[in-house]
Amino acid sequence: MDFKVEKGSVIAVLGNSGSGKTTLLRCISFLEQADQGEITFDDFQKDITAVTRKEIKELRMKMGFVFQGYNLFRNKTALQNVLEGLTAARKIPVKEAQKRAMEMLGKVGMEDRANFYPDQLSGGQQQRVAIARAIAYNPEVVLFDEPTSALDPRLTGEVLDVMRKLADEGTTMVVVTHEMEFARKVANWVVYMEDGVIVEEAPSKEFFACPKNPKTMAFLHMTDSDYSI
């Protein structure tokens, strides 16, 4: 597959379970090692199997990742979860990091829960903390791996509203999702995957209005979402 993300764009990656969507994100972020291929990030271009550990670290510093299962530290508060990457990975002074972390919690509507632990938060609140953590250091692209799949419809709406606001601010996002209305109304570009390959991709309006591949047509016929923006 050949996959390109323009700065400031929102890419929705669709497909049935097992189609390779999560693996794609994990290969982009080097959580999985791709077998072959090439990665280009701004001026950096290299065979993906030859990227060094130092280069991987540098590339990861440009990416934020929001996981399906939140992946918060259970023994740390919401504030501490956001602080961890700023102080430990980026060596930002604590005072500056705390200010930045509170700003990000405010951005996702979680500043009043800063001292709450994950077990004291709903699933939607935990995912909003995870988004605050992912955007805290101004990454160049944020990868979302089915961020609402574990949530009920009300909590799904909370998280998608935050993501919509990020999109409105020009945040570059690659979103693996089953939320068709989000893909239709927020994404600039939609990619449909099946069996590890890209079957069809197009601007979102064109993708939903006139899909060309029969597999894409069948997928869209089966899929619907209760969430509307």
- The one-character DSSP state at 26 is H
**Closest C-alpha to 137, from 65, 229, 215, 220:** 65
CATH for the 1-62+140-229 domain, from 3.40.50.2000, 3.40.50.300, 3.90.1070.10, 3.90.950.10: 3.40.50.300
According to DSSP, the residues that pair with 47 across neighbouring strands are: 38
- pLDDT score at 224: 55
- pLDDT score at 96: 95
AA identity, residue 139? P
Structure-block tokens of residue 12: 């929705």
DSSP output for 129-176: HHHHHHHTT--SEEEEESTTTTS-HHHHHHHHHHHHHHHHTT--EEEE
- CB 70 within 8 Å of CB 108: no
Integer Cα distance of 174 and 10 in angstroms: 6
Backbone φ and ψ of 148, nearest 5° = -115, 5
| SS3 call for 106 | helix
- pLDDT score at 56: 94
Domain residue extents for the chain: 1-62+140-229, 73-138
According to DSSP, the residues that pair with 180 across neighbouring strands are: none
- pLDDT score at 207: 96
- pLDDT score at 3: 85
DSSP output for 202-228: EEHHHHHHS--SHHHHHHHHH---S--
**Closest C-alpha to 6, from 209, 131, 171, 136:** 171
**Closest C-alpha to 166, from 151, 187, 148:** 187
- pLDDT score at 229: 38
Structure-block tokens of residue 88: 């430990």
pLDDT in 10s for each residue of the chain, 229 residues: 888 999 999 999 999 999 999 999 999 999 999 999 999 999 999 999 999 999 999 999 999 999 999 999 999 999 999 999 899 888 899 999 999 999 999 999 999 999 999 999 999 999 999 999 999 999 999 999 999 988 888 889 999 999 999 999 999 999 999 999 999 999 999 999 999 999 999 999 999 999 999 999 999 988 754 333 3
